[in-house]
Amino acid sequence: MSELVGNLLVGQSGGPTAVINSSLAGAVNEALNHSCIEEIYGALNGVLGILQEDFIDLAAESQQQIRGLRHTPGAALGTCRYKLKKQQDFDRVIEVFKAHNIRYFLYAGGNDSQDTADKISKLAQQLGWEMRVIGIPKTIDNDLAHTDHCPGYGSVIKHVASTVRQLACDNEGMGQHDLVSILEVMGRSAGWIAAGAALAKRRDHPHDPPHIICLPEVAFDSAKFVEDVQRVLKRETYCLVVVGEGLVDKDGNYVSVSSKTDAFGHGQLGGAGDYLAGLVEAGIPGVKARTAKLGIVQRAAALEASKTDSDEAYMAGAAAVQAAVNGTTDKCVILLRGDADQYSCETALVDLSEIANGVKKLPREWVNEDGISMNFQFHRYALPLIQGEVAVPFENGLPSFAKLSKAPVDKLLPAYEV
Amino acid sequence: MSELVGNLLVGQSGGPTAVINSSLAGAVNEALNHSCIEEIYGALNGVLGILQEDFIDLAAESQQQIRGLRHTPGAALGTCRYKLKKQQDFDRVIEVFKAHNIRYFLYAGGNDSQDTADKISKLAQQLGWEMRVIGIPKTIDNDLAHTDHCPGYGSVIKHVASTVRQLACDNEGMGQHDLVSILEVMGRSAGWIAAGAALAKRRDHPHDPPHIICLPEVAFDSAKFVEDVQRVLKRETYCLVVVGEGLVDKDGNYVSVSSKTDAFGHGQLGGAGDYLAGLVEAGIPGVKARTAKLGIVQRAAALEASKTDSDEAYMAGAAAVQAAVNGTTDKCVILLRGDADQYSCETALVDLSEIANGVKKLPREWVNEDGISMNFQFHRYALPLIQGEVAVPFENGLPSFAKLSKAPVDKLLPAYEV
């Protein structure tokens, strides 16, 4: 294999996670090891930054800031939900890559983003521009196919389960068999995040909170829900419910959905918690329902990030560079779990197109027959992913996060209108 | 002064905080130092536990669990919002105190709870039952009069400001001058908690998030709000808003209020964040608003508790015991700040009735003229309160909290119907 010499470009796409910057740190640090990589650029705001040549010089960042990325939530390069649609957009991407001699392109994102990376890769091949395109998996939703789990997931469920543990301490002291506490979490099409709340239960304590988990995988039945709550309130002084935003009824319709859609045409969800609170207060006289909605907080919760997750995200970023330098292209890094009893994890590669078009549902057989709790198979799967804590430095009482200085790379082409 | 020999009873009331158990630990540990205190009881669920003789033996708890209270959120004894109303209730309290030889009663709570303690104390005097009643201040709302600040407040604002710092990392990478992120926090009648979000701004960085703080102290003007958001979105890629649930319009009406009321007749608030999101999306085309509502999570956020706050809560619990043993009664512990540049804090005592009937508003002169940000006086006041982090032990990836074994004390009286 002949060595491909040129510049590396890394971009971030879609909704941020607590550890997407850890992947960025892994990619930058690994890239520095390879002399075939001349410059290390970051694309600001994903494909938008590529179209507009908004690149920064990542090699110019201080080591302190790059190290700080390992505990900094959000997408330090910026992301976008802009979807390349027109052929003109794709042509522009290749034109920009040629102008900046981009021979290595790494894109961290979910399936929509890996679909974009795949199309870019195929167009480059078609146009004879030799380059390597590697995807880095990223989503709190854990719904990427092929990978055992996805960087970002371990941290969000560690935060959600920690939150349940803390909420439970409060609710237990407050309830007199009359308090329903509802925590709404993200998860548009799969209940992976809501399911993760189950980790808050201690081993062999099935009655520990969360008492009820409402998953998109289980058709919601409001009468059964109210009965489930009543049963819990007979046994416990309070009932702690975790609900995924994507809850659907037996006809597959969201129980609560706003009329808005995002750039990819997905309906914007929210309000499932308030919906359940309304059911409780209407259905059970004298019982009060309190809601909390973690919203974006859950995917930015670096203070409760999983060290396992952060380390694996870093490893995925580094693995993407290694694969590209080794001549691989049009692949996405995935995580494989070892077979041994002791948890282990290594990276592998699959075709971008395979990632782009798959969705991994929460296995129905991991949900107990009651439809509102998870069985040992889920715990065995998820518990290793939340192990270890990330040390975040505090300054003057508050967490201190990295902030890139973002030295701009000169633009070489005429401006492009998006 | 003759030594008063007998038993000590401690109770917790109202909404829990991240550090109310630290006060309990302080009281228990200090009580063990005094031979005039024979037994150390805890009343389960505040006055409800007193009426029903639901006492536990706190001296029988392991040292490990009492130490663990210092990082455990919620009210380990349970609280209630039951208000003693009938004379019969008050008479029962004294009857129970006599039966169990309760000579020391400590009650941790806000102003409603200290009002209850005051009434109990006065009735005991009237009935000739010699005892000492001391209040321990507790509220995340920081609206207790006379005390410089209130145990519970430092931790909730440390959590809120940390959350803003984390949210900002996420929002900054997501926004294209089109994202408004709204964080709803508690605060029924005062904006102390929302104001605390201002600590997320770095010194001399007035444009740091939160960009807009909506306080109950400043009459809400929806047109001005939309203008403020638009101004921020011109300058920044996103606009981060923190809103207190008790936001009111110029006529003093809550901008959002449900029809429910709690046991004390206070309206239950919520939805201020969703209300602002609606204004943004209706008023600024193309801009999307995302909401998060911390709900009960904010007062249970032990993982982001302030060590200063936790230590002061512990000190307040211990000071209550010391005051009672020294012959003081019908007083509430307060916190006084030292005059020196270097922050220091000590306890003092004021009449329970003074605490019961006062409310401390956020000084209007600490709010900047723009009505949406805090000036240096607030920062000088609040920044010392969030210093230091509480070490919470993790087990198997999740925080581990104390759980009292709650050995019951024998009941000595006929049952009482509440």
**Chain Cα centroid distance, residue A304:** 15
Q: What is the mean pLDDT of residues B379-390?
A: 98
What pLDDT score was predicted for residue A257?
Answer: 58
Between CA B385 and CA B318 the distance in angstroms is 19
Which positions 167-196 of B are in contact with A (Cβ < 8 Å)?
167-174, 176, 181, 183
Beta bridge partners of A346: A336
Tell me whether A100 touches chain B (CB under 8 Å).
no
Count of Cβ atoms closer than 10 Å to residue A312 Cβ: 29
What pLDDT score was predicted for residue B259?
Answer: 42
The residue among A185, A287, A298 whose CA lies nearest residue A242 is A185
Q: What is the mean pLDDT of residues B220-226?
A: 97
Q: What is the mean pLDDT of residues A204-215?
A: 96
B131 and B97 Cβ atoms separated by less than 8 Å? yes
Between CA A267 and CA A269 the distance in angstroms is 6
Tell me whether A284 touches chain B (CB under 8 Å).
no
A173: which chain B residues are within 8 Å (Cβ-Cβ)?
A: 12, 16, 74-79
What pLDDT score was predicted for residue B20?
Answer: 98
B176: which chain A residues are within 8 Å (Cβ-Cβ)?
A: 45, 48, 80
- H-helix or E-strand containing A240? strand A238-244
Residue B257: band (very low, low, confident or very high) from pLDDT cuts 50, 70, 90: low
Q: What is the mean pLDDT of residues B18-40?
A: 98
Cis omega (within 30 of 0) on the bond before A210?
A: yes
CA distance B267 to chain A (A): 13
Residue B256: band (very low, low, confident or very high) from pLDDT cuts 50, 70, 90: confident
Tell me whether B200 touches chain A (CB under 8 Å).
yes
Between CA A256 and CA A273 the distance in angstroms is 9
What pLDDT score was predicted for residue B110?
Answer: 93
Between CA B210 and CA B228 the distance in angstroms is 12
Handedness of CA B169, B171, B175, B177 (dihedral sign): negative
CA distances from A195 to A183, A212, B301, B362 (A): 12, 10, 21, 41
What pLDDT score was predicted for residue A43?
Answer: 98
Q: Does the distance separating the beta carbons of A388 and B170 come in below 8 Å?
A: no
CA distances from B245 to A171, A200, A394, B87, B361 (A): 20, 29, 28, 35, 15
Print burial letters for A131-167: b (CB count within 10 Å at least 16), e (below 16).
bbbbbbbbbbbbbbbbbbbbbbbbbbbbbbbbbbbbb
Tell me whether B64 touches chain A (CB under 8 Å).
no
Tell me what the pLDDT averaged over chain B comes to.
Answer: 94
Q: Does the distance separating the beta carbons of B76 and A173 come in below 8 Å?
A: yes
Higher local confidence (pLDDT), A187 or B315:
B315
Give the residue from chain B lying closest to A20, CA to CA.
B170
Residue B263: band (very low, low, confident or very high) from pLDDT cuts 50, 70, 90: very low
The rounded percent of chain B whose pLDDT value lies above 90 is 90
CA distance B75 to chain A (A): 5
Residue ranges of alpha helices (H) inside B73-152 are 87-99, 111-126
Q: Are strands A102-109 and A132-137 parallel, antiparallel or unpaired?
A: parallel
B141 a catalytic residue: yes
Is pLDDT at A88 greater than 60 in this prediction?
yes
Residue B325: band (very low, low, confident or very high) from pLDDT cuts 50, 70, 90: very high
pLDDT in tens, B327-372: 999 999 999 999 999 999 999 999 999 999 888 999 999 999 999 9
The DSSP 8-state label assigned to residue B365 in this structure reads: G
Residue A99: band (very low, low, confident or very high) from pLDDT cuts 50, 70, 90: very high
Residues in CB range of B407: below 8 A, 6 or more apart: B56, B57, B60, B61
The DSSP 8-state label assigned to residue A401 in this structure reads: -
For residue A91, give the amino acid letter.
D
Q: Does the distance separating the beta carbons of A76 and B173 come in below 8 Å?
A: yes
Which residues of A are catalytically annotated? 141
The ipTM (two decimal places) reads 0.95
* Dihedral in degrees, nearest 10, Cα atoms B390, A170, B323, B2: -130
Residue B268: band (very low, low, confident or very high) from pLDDT cuts 50, 70, 90: very low
Interface test with B, best of A23, A297, A401 (most B CBs within 10 A): A297
Is pLDDT at A291 greater than 50 in this prediction?
yes
For residue A161, give the amino acid letter.
A
pLDDT in tens, A168-182: 999 999 999 999 999
Residue A260: band (very low, low, confident or very high) from pLDDT cuts 50, 70, 90: very low
Q: Does the distance separating the beta carbons of B296 and A292 come in below 8 Å?
A: yes
pLDDT in tens, A362-401: 999 999 999 999 999 999 999 999 999 999 999 999 999 9
Residue B1: band (very low, low, confident or very high) from pLDDT cuts 50, 70, 90: low
pLDDT in tens, B82-115: 889 899 999 999 999 999 999 999 999 999 999 9
The residue among B330, B334, B335, B326 whose CA lies nearest residue B352 is B330
Residue from the list A165, A174, A299 with its beta carbon closest to the beta carbon of B170 = A299
The residue among B12, B26, B5 whose CA lies nearest residue B322 is B26
Is pLDDT at A258 greater than 60 in this prediction?
no
| Pick from A237-246, A256-265, A276-285, B192-201: least confident | A256-265
Q: What is the pTM of this model?
A: 0.96
Give the residue from chain A lying closest to B71, CA to CA.
A166
Is pLDDT at B324 greater than 90 in this prediction?
yes
What pLDDT score was predicted for residue B418?
Answer: 86
Is pLDDT at B266 greater than 70 in this prediction?
no
What pLDDT score was predicted for residue A145?
Answer: 94
Residue from the list B45, B79, B291 with its beta carbon closest to the beta carbon of A293 = B291
Tell me whether A290 touches chain B (CB under 8 Å).
yes
Between CA A305 and CA A21 the distance in angstroms is 12
Residue from the list B170, B306, B383 with its beta carbon closest to the beta carbon of A296 = B170
A158: which chain B residues are within 8 Å (Cβ-Cβ)?
A: 397-398
Residue from the list B78, B174, B397 with its beta carbon closest to the beta carbon of A16 = B174
Between CA B38 and CA B104 the distance in angstroms is 10
Q: What is the mean pLDDT of residues B204-230?
A: 96
Residue from the list B174, B295, B388 with its beta carbon closest to the beta carbon of A292 = B295
What pLDDT score was predicted for residue A83?
Answer: 87
Residue A255: band (very low, low, confident or very high) from pLDDT cuts 50, 70, 90: confident
The rounded percent of chain B whose pLDDT value lies above 70 is 96
What pLDDT score was predicted for residue A407?
Answer: 98
What pLDDT score was predicted for residue A268?
Answer: 47
Handedness of CA A99, A104, A109, A113 (dihedral sign): positive
What pLDDT score was predicted for residue A279?
Answer: 93
What pLDDT score was predicted for residue B189?
Answer: 82
> Phi first, then psi: what are they for A160, rounded to 5°?
-65, -45
What pLDDT score was predicted for residue B140?
Answer: 95
Is pLDDT at A261 greater than 50 in this prediction?
no
Is pLDDT at A183 greater than 90 in this prediction?
yes
The residue among A374, A377, A384 whose CA lies nearest residue A217 is A374
pLDDT in tens, A134-171: 999 999 999 999 999 999 999 999 999 999 999 999 99
Between CA A67 and CA A70 the distance in angstroms is 6
